[in-house]
Structure formats: structure tokens, C-alpha cells
Amino acid sequence: MQRRQFLKTGLVAAGGAALGTGAAEALPIADAGPAPTATLALTPDGDLVVASAPRGKTIPTSEAVRRGVPGRRWVMVIDLAACDGCGKCSQACTKSHFIPADREYLRVFKMQDSSETSPYWFPRPCFHCDNPPCTRVCPVGATFKRQDGIVLIDNERCIGCRFCMAACPYSVRVFNWGRPSNAPEAEARGYSPEWGYPRRVGTAEKCDFCADMAKDGHLPHCVAKCPMEAMWFGDENEDAVTSSKGTTMRLSKLLRDRAGFRFMEELGTKPRVYYLPPDKRHSAAPGEPGAVHAETTQHEGGPR
């Protein structure tokens, strides 16, 4: 569709909605029901098109998957003073989700606030916001917020429009531009939004908080493999988070005593990932919580 035709079609649709005719068809859906007959999408070349999705043929997301674990509100805490940039968290995530090396869900950035301060490391997963802009722009309800706090993507519904990627202020989503080569183990398990594989070409992906692990009472792979005890995961409703070594802390006390904060909180997205500032990194000895090894260079860069 040419851009001029697209604009004309959009104006006609908007006029019809304003008059109350066909309004139900014009509104994007956000539940597990069937997709609308057509929705706007972007091609890989950046052209706006109308993507068809016949009613009754779009696979609905499981109600249990969309609801999440009743009574839970999953939360993560990352201690920037303890993280030494080893990248074990990212490696564990990549391995467990069969992710290609160029599409990490969890990236670790080397940060330095000024030339007068020591560098530190900043792990960046999806923040599973309580006010997520990504879910509001999805025209087919493929990305959704669960009652247990997790934001997931259903790639059996995703049409590849990448609106969610444009809306995310943290740049934590990746896209399958080519046809993925799925591991036999991934194919054998079968697809679920709770673990995100086997992956599909033309779909968006991201960190899923290891929803399947949390449901069974296990820590996410990234937290479980952190050797520095720099990552914590738990239930906000129970006011408790646990580290890789099995240490459990009161969430409220940890955030209060260590001045916990949320990344780019001023945006109003209400992330479910908290950070503890790297305030002890100067005095900590190598190998102790708070130590930062400046010679480590992998994952250099910076969050957007």
C-alpha cells in the first residue's frame, strides 16, 4: 500500500470510528480473543501496510498463561556494588533460552559516572513495568501484562509490526529478522510464551523473568547462576527476595537500607526491577561483594 493510500484509509477509518460506525473493528484488542480482520504493520523496509489476520484463525493465548500465578508479584533486585561484570547471568539466560549470540535478553554494560569515579557494571533485563507502554501499542494483543507482574510476548499472535519495540524506552526487545535455527531440545519442548521458544521469524522477543521457573518455585536462570550474589528474585507480596546462595532478605528492608531505585523511574513506567547503587565498590577487595575489576571488558557499552 502506498503511503498516500494508507493515510487516506486511516482517515476514513478514524472518521467511521468517530461516528460510531465500525468502532469495534477499528479498536486494537488487548485480550486473548481473536485478532481483528486487519491491522497496520511495518515491513522490514519501513513501509506501512495493512496486515490481514482472519478472525477465528489467530491462536488465542492460554488463559492460564495470560493470568499468571495467582497471588504473586514477582520482583528482581540487582546489586550494582556486588556485580563484577562476569556475564554469567547473561550466559545462563542465553543458554537456557537457546538465544543466538547477537540477541541477548540480558546485557551487562560497563558504566562510569565520571573520570573521578571507578567503573561499575549494569545488568539490564526487561523491566516488566507495571505501566508498560509496549502492551498498549500492540495491535493484536500479542504482548500482555500478567497479574503476577510479568510482561510476556505470544509469538503465535505477534505479526512483527515492532510497535512494542518502538514504544519500549529501555530498548530491551529483540527481533527475529531471519528464520531461526531452533535446537532439537527447543523443538521437542514446544512453544509457550512463558519460555519463548521455539522462536519464529518476524517476531519480537525479550526477557521473560523465567516465568516457567518462577511458577515452579525456582529462581530465574540469571539469578541462580550469579556467583557474586548480585541478583535477587522474589515475591513483592511476601516482601522477600532470594539470591543464588539461598540467602533470603526482606525486600522492603533491602531497598530502604541500600537506597534502592528504579532505572529511568521518571518515565512513570513503574519497573519491577530495582537497583542498589554501587556505593561500596571503592573499598571492596577483589572477589568480595562490591568489588569491580576494571580490566574486565566484555559487554562494554551503555544503556539507552
Q: Collapsing DSSP states into helix, strand and coil, what is residue 13?
A: helix
| Eight-class DSSP state of 233 | E
pLDDT string in tens for the chain (304-residue length): 454 454 444 444 444 444 333 333 333 334 444 444 455 555 555 566 665 544 444 567 888 999 999 999 999 999 999 999 999 999 999 999 999 888 899 999 999 888 888 899 999 999 999 999 999 999 999 999 999 999 999 999 999 999 999 999 999 999 999 988 899 999 999 999 999 999 999 999 999 999 999 999 999 999 999 999 999 999 999 999 999 999 999 999 999 999 999 999 999 999 999 999 998 754 444 444 444 433 333 333 444 3
Q: What does the pLDDT read at residue 94?
A: 96
Which residues in 113-128 are b (16+ Cβ under 10 Å) and which e? eeeeeebbbbbbbbbb
Q: What does the pLDDT read at residue 43?
A: 55
Q: What does the pLDDT read at residue 282?
A: 44
Residue 253: burial class (beta carbons within 10 Å; 0-12, 13-18, 19+) = exposed
Q: What does the pLDDT read at residue 62?
A: 86
| Measured CA distances, 199 to 154, 175, 206, 297 (Å) | 10, 10, 11, 30
CA triple 144-146-148, angle to 5 deg: 155
Q: What does the pLDDT read at residue 7?
A: 45
Q: Which three cell numbers stand for residue 199?
A: 522462536
The CATH class of the 72-128+210-276 domain is alpha beta
**What ranges do the domains of the chain cover?**
1-60, 72-128+210-276
Q: What does the pLDDT read at residue 40?
A: 58
206: nearest Cα among 193, 187, 215: 193
| Cα–Cα dist 85/129, whole Å | 24
pTM of the model as a whole: 0.76
Residue where the block lists cell 516457567: 212
